[in-house]
Amino acid sequence: MTATETKTTTTNGRTDGANGVHQIGRSVPRIDALDKVTGRAQYTADLHLPGTCYGAFLRSPHAHARVVSIDTSEAERMPGVVAVISAASIARDLAIVVEEEMHAARRVLSLFPNVGGKVTYHGQKIAAVAAATKELAEEACERIKVEYEVLPPVIDVREAVKEGAPLVHDETKPVDGLDHGPFAAPTLFNIAGQNHRNEGDVDAGFREADRIFEDTYVIPRAHQTYIEPQSTVADVARDGSVTVWTSTQGHFAVRSNLANSLRIPLSKINVIGMTIGGGFGAKFGGIVDTYCVLLAQKARRPVKIIYTREEEFLDAKPAPGAVITVKTGVKEDGTITARQAWALWDTGVGSGGCYATNRVKGVYKIEHFKVDAYDVHTNKPAPGAYRAPGAPQATFAGETQLNRICAAMGWDPVEFRLKNMREGDQIAFKETLQAVADRAGWAKRQSKTGPNEGWGVAVGEWTNGAGPASAVVSVHEDGKVHVFYGLMDLTGTDTAMAQIAAEVLGVRYEDVTVSRGDTNSAPFGTASGGSVVTFSFGNAVKRAAEDAKKRLLELAADHLEVAVEDLELANGRVSVKGNDESLVTVAQLGQMALRSKGGPIVGHGSFASEPSATTTAAQIVKVSFDPDTGQVRLRKLYGSLDVGKALNPMACEGQMEGGLVQGFAWGLMEQMRYAEDGRNWNPGLLDYRVPTTLDFPDIESVMVEMPTKNGPFGVKGIGEPPIAPGVACLVSAVADATGVWINEVPLTPERVLHAIKANGKK
């Protein structure tokens, strides 16, 4: 199988589709673009329900402390305050009597710390207030009196695993440690989860090697920094049924989380997913919605909570940091004999990260591979997903080290990768790397490199998920098509779905409308994350459209008095093959259907799961650095991605570019910093720097299309992989420019200068 490389400029494929031109593969504008450029799109914060009151939180000023007392009485007495909730009030409201009930209520009781219990990170919620205005709610929070007994925090994972480190959760049991490797110890502490993987025999593999390299890579926590903060509006009716308007990637996920944590029957919760202002993995609920519903239950009025940017940094779900040690054996002939990784993931008070360590293996043929990885508790908030969760961190370690090996051995990093890459059905590792190397002119890069300039390359891999999805496609009496489902549009997927329905039903994209149902009205659908959507909902919409098409053809066959097999559907009409005269339009069929035995044309489609295919993102960067200031500048950026099939090339490029910039930014400037006392050091956009227009150059994107059997029209899930290679790519380019391998990011000017001085280079 060969990959077809699509040269992509933004105006490509802009055909109008009127003459039997395909509706997939067109770079049509987003279906919601008009609402978004005119300010009409409704985000959660834009809702103004009559009688709304506003929620605010009291948060812990300490990273680690015991709560000695909480006194909410003054806040409760304030005029304008309609509800105050804390651990004590929840326990009172539950009026728990029996043991079983206690167990079921565990989750709601854990929403706030109890008196006698602990706060475990700076910014943790202690209590919440709803009041007539936001200012009043904040003022009431300030009037809540809390006494703390401050405890020493633990911030660095390498300290947290050691004997004697403060325990973040008192109940965490020590686990048996490793007798080898960078953090060998009989016992490890603060362990939240572990992942051990063993393929082949690494010791034998290392014995075969001519050279062995071992490096430790350190990457900090990063915040997804969606521009729309977490936000929810909740209202509770007299009968206790709950309506929630929220910014989420999965309104069904929010519903089940609310049902579980607040013990409300699923059928009594309706979640309305509003337009989402960015999520990147962090908007699956639980951060504000649960509290908003609790306040609304008490207030009996709509309650609105909009996080501030500071709250985002203090108490959301950022990507975990990691310390990853990688050991790799190679032979002089350029093959890899073995690879081993040890990792500590900084998962704060939660868990989730260590499984991604397996990605250190990369896309290469490595017979002997071993991983020992741990999630480690520290006094920081629990982590969440950020685009391809864990991939940027693991790829940073795996790919940077390959580049260092290539530099030490005198090998070309692209050729070395091509030689060692796995091959397989429906995967295009080599084609994708080759495509970006060709676009960047990699082979001739030396001739394009000035002093203090350097090049880097890296490859990331990702396999999209699959999940339950369903859709209804109807053909209306004016010949227009409507798609209805419960998909949250995070990345432009409504547009892709409209294109799929149009393609199947032989109408133009412009003749398709899409609406998203709330959880009461829409058939179930998985959340928008894990690159599942275009794959899963795409299949469901395609099946629903095919179902509707079947009805259309049957009606047409009846009308034209021919067999279904003799008909073709295109350009908004059904005609008899080989006889252009004999035809009926989709609009006419839509009208006929109303009077037909079967009634209006409605197609149904559902999907649960299919094996999905792996995709690859390869990136190349040229950087320059200023030896006086240490400032690194990106000069040229190239990215390629195996998209399977580009339903909408412009939208694919948008995903590639957005993801690429997020990856590089993590390597260049982003880091959540914590002071020694555990307090978040940079909870604002002035100190937590995300890229502006000035930080990045133009990006050249190349799409590779290696279709997968199971995706609709061959598409693969593409939202996540472009974030994976950036950190490694950047660090390697800076090493190429400076001669120094800096194994800790971000590459701030101070860090770069310091590293160069320490190495006596330049």
Residue 737 CB contacts under 8 Å (≥ 6 apart), including other chains = 452, 453, 454, 623, 624, 625
Nearest to 756, CA basis, from 740, 745, 732, 735: 740
DSSP per-residue string spanning 530-565: TT-HHHHHHHHHHHHHHHHHHHHHHHHHHHHTS-GG
CB nearer another protein, residue 630 or residue 663: 663
Q: Which residues from 679-738 bind another protein, rule CB under 8 A?
A: 684-686, 690-694, 696, 698-699
Nearest to 536, CA basis, from 490, 492, 497: 497
Q: Which does 739 bind (CB under 5 to 8 A by kind): ligand FES, another protein, none?
A: none
Q: Which of 135, 676, 720, 744 is catalytic?
A: 720
Asked about 720 being catalytic, the answer comes back as yes
In this structure, the chain runs to a length of: 762
**Chain residue whose CB lies nearest ligand FES:** 227
Residue 575: alpha-carbon gap to chain centroid = 45
Asked if 531 and 249 count as a contact pair (C-beta separation under 8 A), the reply is no
Q: Which part of the chain contacts another protein (CB under 8 A), choosing from 70-78, 121-129, 220-228, 579-587?
A: 220-228
* Residue 691 touching ligand FES (CB under 6 A): no
Q: Which does 164 bind (CB under 5 to 8 A by kind): ligand FES, another protein, none?
A: none
Instruction: Give the number of residues in contact with another protein, rule: CB under 8 A.
Output: 85
DSSP per-residue string spanning 501-528: HHHHHT--GGGEEEEE--TTTSPP---S
**Which residue of 174, 181, 200, 278 would you call a contact of ligand FES, by CB under 6 A?**
278
- How many Å is the maximal CA-CA distance in the chain? 86
Q: Which does 748 bind (CB under 5 to 8 A by kind): ligand FES, another protein, none?
A: none
**Which residue of 73, 110, 198, 521 would you call a contact of another protein, by CB under 8 A?**
521
Q: Which does 185 bind (CB under 5 to 8 A by kind): ligand FES, another protein, none?
A: none
Residue 385: alpha-carbon gap to chain centroid = 5
CB nearer another protein, residue 1 or residue 227: 227
CB nearer ligand FES, residue 97 or residue 686: 686
C-alpha count within 13 angstroms, C-beta hemisphere, residue 668 = 25
**Which residue of 241, 308, 596, 682 would you call a contact of another protein, by CB under 8 A?**
308
Per-residue string for binding with another protein, 643-682, x by CB under 8 A? -------xx-xx--xxxxxx--------------------
- Alpha carbon distance, N-terminus to C-terminus of the chain: 47
Backbone angles phi, psi at 657, to 5 degrees: -70, -45
**Which residue of 227, 332, 446, 447 would you call a contact of ligand FES, by CB under 6 A?**
227
What whole-number distance in Å separates Cα of residue 531 and Cα of residue 467? Answer: 10
Q: Which part of the chain contacts another protein (CB under 8 A), choosing from 121-129, 275-283, 536-544, 583-591?
A: 275-283
CB nearer ligand FES, residue 278 or residue 627: 278
Two structure tokens written together for 196: 């051990």
Whether residue 746 has a cis bond before it, omega within 30° of 0: yes
**Which residue of 148, 189, 252, 280 would you call a contact of another protein, by CB under 8 A?**
280
C-alpha count within 13 angstroms, C-beta hemisphere, residue 97 = 0
Q: How far is the CB of 312 from ligand FES (least distance, A)?
A: 12
What whole-number distance in Å separates Cα of residue 358 and Cα of residue 372? Answer: 9
* Residue 350 touching ligand FES (CB under 6 A): no
* Residue 274 touching another protein (CB under 8 A): yes
**Which residue of 489, 547, 670, 705 would you call a contact of another protein, by CB under 8 A?**
489
Amino acid identity at 151: L
Residue 202 CB contacts under 8 Å (≥ 6 apart), including other chains = 338, 339, 340, 368, 369, 370
Q: How far is the CB of 4 from another protein (least distance, A)?
A: 22
Asked if 283 and 247 count as a contact pair (C-beta separation under 8 A), the reply is yes
Q: Which residues from 23-82 bind another protein, rule CB under 8 A?
A: 27-43, 45-49
* Residue 611 touching another protein (CB under 8 A): no
Asked if 325 and 216 count as a contact pair (C-beta separation under 8 A), the reply is yes
Q: Which part of the chain contacts another protein (CB under 8 A), choosing from 224-232, 413-421, 626-634, 741-749?
A: 224-232
Q: How far is the CB of 142 from ligand FES (least distance, A)?
A: 23
Residue 686: exposed, middle, or buried by beta-carbon count in 10 A (0-12, 13-18, 19+)?
exposed
CB nearer ligand FES, residue 56 or residue 733: 56
* Residue 234 touching another protein (CB under 8 A): no
CB nearer ligand FES, residue 318 or residue 467: 318
Relative to beta strand 191-199, strand 699-705 is: unpaired
CB nearer another protein, residue 259 or residue 685: 685
CB nearer ligand FES, residue 47 or residue 409: 47
What whole-number distance in Å separates Cα of residue 483 and Cα of residue 464? Answer: 23
Which residues are near ligand FES by CB under 6 A? 227, 278
Hey, which residues are catalytic here?
Answer: 720
